[in-house]
């Protein structure tokens, strides 16, 4: 069978998520033709966006009301219908891909390779284990490779220059298992945490949700995103989707500023790939300093406002 990849696009029916572009780069490294599946409702615009990515053979557009929200049961049934044509099924290792792809893998009798950070060949990949404290190189022996891709580990593919054909596909009857009730999405004008160039994160050292304002002020000044440690989320200072770490979001910005974060291994797993790390903490023994390029020991409530002033003054 000729090698061909079906890539599940992550989108919200109006925009293609940045994670999709990074996943394309990983799929290109695996080789073979690449088709993108855009499944949703009223998402033809997303399909056009996907078709403009260079290196894509075809965009499969599946539109149905049942696909408005990416429910795993429905998406898996849809992909299973398309699967015979493909040797590789890939999706970003975001909550979207993590939810749906293992369901597809099991139905295809394939052992998924999760959260890859590098592609060695069409069947061999590198993935972090033990919260990133080890990297495993694994080869899949399954006929169909099912793979989730860590978006921050790959450059994003270009968004222009491609002219892939768009094929509308018939949506089969989808199993009415789970149904969407509602969602509570955090609205913010800030850049997204997993794709921002600069991330400012706060930890337990902030002491309250109100005090997070100084983190936000610094982030806004730098046009950055706001993140948090698990401790800060558990304490209720900020919502769950701010969490950076082994089980939260994995970020790899150009600059990561950790404020009042001690640096548990579970947090480091989510940010150790950042290009430059700054740590501000009053405890000079805090493990965060071991991974920081620039460490500043002191009271964050003094340092952060000073930092804001200094950056403003120097512009």
Partner 1 sequence: MKILVAAKRVVDYNVKVRVRSDHSGVETANVKMSMNPFDEIAVEEAIRFKEAGHGDEVVVASIGPRQCEEVLRTALAMGADRGVLVRSDAALEPLAVARLLGVLAEREKSDLILLGKQAIDDDANQTGQMLAALLGWAQGTFACRLEAVQDGLRVTREIDGGLETLFMPLPAVVTADLRLNEPRYPKLPNIMKAKKKPLETLDGDSLGVDISPRLHTLRVSAPEPRKGGVRVTDVAELVDRLRNEAKVL
Instruction: Check residue 173 for interaction with partner 1 (CB under 8 A).
Output: no
Cβ proximity to partner 1, 25 vs 246, nearer residue:
246
> Looking at the DSSP assignment, which residues form a beta bridge with residue 225?
199
Instruction: Check residue 14 for interaction with partner 1 (CB under 8 A).
Output: no
- Written as one string, the DSSP assignment of 3-60 is -EEEEEPPB-SSSB-HHHHHHHHHHHHH-SEEEEEEEESS-HHHHHHHHTSTT--EEE
* Region binding partner 1 by CB under 8 A among candidate stretches 25-33, 47-55, 158-166, 242-250: 242-250
DSSP 292: -
Q: Of these, 31, 32, 52, 111, which contacts partner 1 (CB under 8 A)?
A: 111
Report in angstroms how near the CB of residue 161 gets to partner 1 at its nearest.
28
Q: How many Cα atoms within 13 Å fall on the side-chain side of residue 222?
A: 26
Total chain residues near partner 1 (CB under 8 A) = 88
**φ and ψ at 302, to 5 degrees?**
-95, -45
Instruction: Check residue 240 for interaction with partner 1 (CB under 8 A).
Output: yes
Of 286, 240, 231, 227, nearest in space to 262 by CA:
286
Instruction: Check residue 292 for interaction with partner 1 (CB under 8 A).
Output: yes
* Region binding partner 1 by CB under 8 A among candidate stretches 41-49, 53-61, 163-171, 248-256: 248-256
Q: Of these, 59, 116, 225, 233, which contacts partner 1 (CB under 8 A)?
A: 233
Report in angstroms how near the CB of residue 80 gets to partner 1 at its nearest.
10
* Region binding partner 1 by CB under 8 A among candidate stretches 26-34, 49-57, 161-169, 226-234: 226-234
CB burial class (10 A; 0-12, 13-18, 19+) of residue 183? exposed
Of 93, 98, 73, 70, nearest in space to 11 by CA:
70
Interaction with partner 1 in 139-168: which residues (CB under 8 A)?
A: 139-142
Cβ proximity to partner 1, 129 vs 168, nearer residue:
129
Q: Of these, 40, 102, 202, 203, which contacts partner 1 (CB under 8 A)?
A: 102
Interaction with partner 1 in 35-94: which residues (CB under 8 A)?
A: 69, 71-73, 76, 94
Cβ proximity to partner 1, 1 vs 181, nearer residue:
181
Of 166, 177, 148, 142, nearest in space to 71 by CA:
177
Instruction: Check residue 15 for interaction with partner 1 (CB under 8 A).
Output: no
Write down how long the chain is. Answer: 315
Q: Of these, 14, 179, 208, 223, which contacts partner 1 (CB under 8 A)?
A: 179
Interaction with partner 1 in 195-214: which residues (CB under 8 A)?
A: 198
**Torsion on CA atoms 219, 222, 225, 226, rounded to nearest 10:** -20
CA distances from 301 to 42, 51, 177, 225, 245 (A): 47, 48, 50, 19, 24
Report in angstroms how near the CB of residue 225 gets to partner 1 at its nearest.
12
Whether 173 contacts 199, CB under 8 Å? no
Interaction with partner 1 in 113-142: which residues (CB under 8 A)?
A: 113-115, 124, 128-142
Interaction with partner 1 in 250-269: which residues (CB under 8 A)?
A: 254-255, 265-266
């Amino acid at each position: 069978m000729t090698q061909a990849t079906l890539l599940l696009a992550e989108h919200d029916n109006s925009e293609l998520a940045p994670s999709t572009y990074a996943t394309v780069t990983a799929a290109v490294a695996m080789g073979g033709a690449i088709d993108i599946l855009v499944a949703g409702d009223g998402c033809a615009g997303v399909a056009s966006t996907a078709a403009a990515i260079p290196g894509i053979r075809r965009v499969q557009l599946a539109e149905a009301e049942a696909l408005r929200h990416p429910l795993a049961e429905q998406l898996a049934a849809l992909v299973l219908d398309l699967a015979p044509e493909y040797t590789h099924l890939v999706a970003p290792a975001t909550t979207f891909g993590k939810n749906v792809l293992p369901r597809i893998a099991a139905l295809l009798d394939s052992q998924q390779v999760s959260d890859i950070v590098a592609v060695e060949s069409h069947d061999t990949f590198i993935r972090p284990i033990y919260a990133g404290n080890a990297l495993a190189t694994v080869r899949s022996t399954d006929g169909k490779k099912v793979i989730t891709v860590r978006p921050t580990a790959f450059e994003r593919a270009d968004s222009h220059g491609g002219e892939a054909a768009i094929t509308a596909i018939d949506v089969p009857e989808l199993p009415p298992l789970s149904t969407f009730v509602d969602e509570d999405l955090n609205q913010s004008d800030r850049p997204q945490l997993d794709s921002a160039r600069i991330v400012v994160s706060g930890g337990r050292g902030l002491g309250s949700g109100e005090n997070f304002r100084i983190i936000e002020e610094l982030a806004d000044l730098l046009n950055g995103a706001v993140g948090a440690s698990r401790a800060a989320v558990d304490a209720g200072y900020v919502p769950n989707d701010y969490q950076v770490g082994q089980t939260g979001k994995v970020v790899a910005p150009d600059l990561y500023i950790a404020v009042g974060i001690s640096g548990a291994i579970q947090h480091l797993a989510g940010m150790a790939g950042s290009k430059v790390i700054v740590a501000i903490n009053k405890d000079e023994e805090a493990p965060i300093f071991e991974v920081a390029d620039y460490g500043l020991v002191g009271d964050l409530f003094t340092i952060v406002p000073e930092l804001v002033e200094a950056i403003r003054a120097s512009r």
